């Protein structure tokens, strides 16, 4: 089982920590270097074109029109935008133990009724009066996957909107953002982008959101919106853009192009095959993994404290909620799995 990455990546460790941060492809590194060195000598290119190319690429990956995609820097900011749009007294249903960037903006927004349910029973927990169901497609702590089809059906039956955080799935799990009202995702994990990139997908009607943090880039004609109130907001989701980290976007367009070229479906088959190999290996040596069939993330409970020991052996993993978390991506191979198992078995 080979990698899918060719010469795009050259890790110097056994890198199994994409759920924390993905590796950058060589094409992305080269693009950022060019952008930075050009800026240093006063010859910077139009990096706003990189933002638009990145937006369009993510839209294709998400299966939605480009006009539905906002480009920013933070999932927490975009969740805060959605939280701000909800009326006082609105009920928000969240999954127990979900990632804080998705959860906390709704908890701290005064006037909302926030309720939690186990991931496995999210659909059953939707009820009359629920305004929004927000959940990660794949759980950060242990790789468990939400039953999005059931959650969507329950939300529609009760008139609730859905918000899916695809930060731990976009790039290896095919994404159909058209099925949800809102989708958020950072791009520095499975999409192999630099940090400082996040996307928000909104409905065609813009979802009733007010661009409360909209600056000049939120204008229909940004360069005519630099002073005073923005006279005309963008007619698309671009009205929700954050002022972009341009050097990050200079690289992001190339990372996203690589994911498009390779294909999330092919990446997913590769990643999950490696994860399944690790799950089977854990079983053979008398360890266990959190049940997360079909996930590219594998979490071994109670072994999180071993992370530093693995690091000294040149294997990069993460410690999340007490779990030793391994995340497999297109630059990994069967040899990486076997090395991890060898060290784990002593």
The CATH number of residue 69's host domain is: 3.40.640.10
Query: In Å, how far from its chain's centre is CA 162?
Result: 16
Q: Does residue 8 lie within any of the structural domains? A: no
pTM for the predicted model, two decimal places: 0.96
Q: What is the pLDDT of residue 232?
A: 96
Q: Do 211 and 87 fall into the same domain?
A: yes
> Judging by beta carbons within 10 Å of its beta carbon (0-12, 13-18, 19+), is residue 79 exposed, middle or buried?
buried
- Structure confidence at residue 44 (pLDDT): 73
Question: Could you give the C-alpha distances from 287 to 37, 242, 272, 290, 301, in angstroms and in order?
Answer: 49, 45, 19, 10, 9
Number of domains making up the chain: 2
What are the pLDDT tens digits along the chain (346 aa)? 488 888 899 999 999 999 999 999 999 999 999 999 999 999 877 889 999 999 999 999 999 999 999 999 999 999 999 999 999 999 999 999 999 999 999 999 999 999 999 999 999 999 999 999 999 999 999 999 999 999 999 999 999 999 999 999 999 999 999 999 999 999 999 999 999 999 999 999 999 999 999 899 999 999 999 999 999 999 999 999 999 999 999 999 999 999 999 999 999 999 999 999 999 999 999 999 999 999 999 999 988 888 998 899 999 999 998 899 999 999 999 999 999 999 998 7
Domain boundary among 241, 261, 281: 261
Same domain, 177 and 235: yes
Q: What is the pLDDT of residue 303?
A: 84
Question: Are 219 and 253 part of one and the same domain?
Answer: yes
266, 233: one domain: no
Residue 48 CB: number of other CB atoms within 10 A?
A: 14
Range of the domain at 146: 32-261
5 assigned to some structural domain: no
Residue 103 pLDDT? 98
- pLDDT attached to residue 197: 97
**pLDDT score at 257:** 98
8-state DSSP, 234: -
């Amino acid at each position: 089982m080979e990698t899918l990455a060719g010469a795009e990546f050259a890790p110097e460790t056994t890198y199994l920590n994409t759920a924390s941060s993905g590796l950058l492809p060589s094409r992305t590194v080269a693009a950022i270097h060019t952008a930075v060195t050009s800026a240093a000598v006063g010859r910077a290119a139009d990096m706003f074109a990189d933002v638009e190319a990145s937006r369009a690429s993510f839209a294709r990956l998400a299966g939605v029109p480009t006009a539905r995609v906002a480009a920013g820097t933070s999932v927490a900011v975009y969740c805060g935008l959605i939280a701000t749009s909800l009326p006082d007294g609105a009920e928000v249903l969240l999954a127990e133990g979900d990632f804080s960037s998705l959860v906390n903006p709704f908890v701290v927004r005064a006037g909302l009724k926030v309720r939690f349910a186990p991931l496995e029973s999210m659909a059953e927990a939707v009820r009359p009066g629920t305004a929004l169901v927000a959940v990660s497609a794949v759980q950060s702590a242990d790789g468990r996957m939400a039953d999005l089809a059931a959650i969507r059906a329950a939300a529609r039956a009760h008139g609730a909107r859905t918000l899916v955080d695809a930060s731990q799935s976009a790039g290896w799990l095919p994404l159909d953002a058209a099925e949800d009202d809102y989708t958020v995702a950072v791009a520095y994990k499975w999409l192999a982008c630099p940090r400082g990139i996040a996307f928000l997908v909104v409905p065609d009607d813009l979802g009733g959101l007010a661009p409360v943090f909209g600056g000049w880039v939120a204008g229909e004609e940004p360069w005519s919106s630099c002073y005073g109130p923005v006279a005309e907001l963008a007619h698309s989701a671009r009205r929700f853009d954050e002022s972009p980290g341009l050097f990050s976007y200079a690289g992001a367009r190339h990372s996203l192009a690589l994911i498009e070229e390779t294909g999330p479906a092919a990446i997913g088959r590769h990643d999950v095959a490696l994860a399944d190999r690790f799950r089977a290996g854990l079983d053979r040596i008398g360890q266990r993994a959190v049940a997360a069939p079909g996930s590219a993330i594998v979490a071994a409970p109670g072994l999180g404290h071993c992370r530093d020991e693995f690091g000294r052996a040149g294997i990069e993993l993460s410690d999340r909620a007490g779990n030793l978390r391994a995340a497999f991506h297109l630059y990994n191979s069967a040899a990486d799995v076997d090395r991890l198992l060898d060290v784990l078995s002593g």
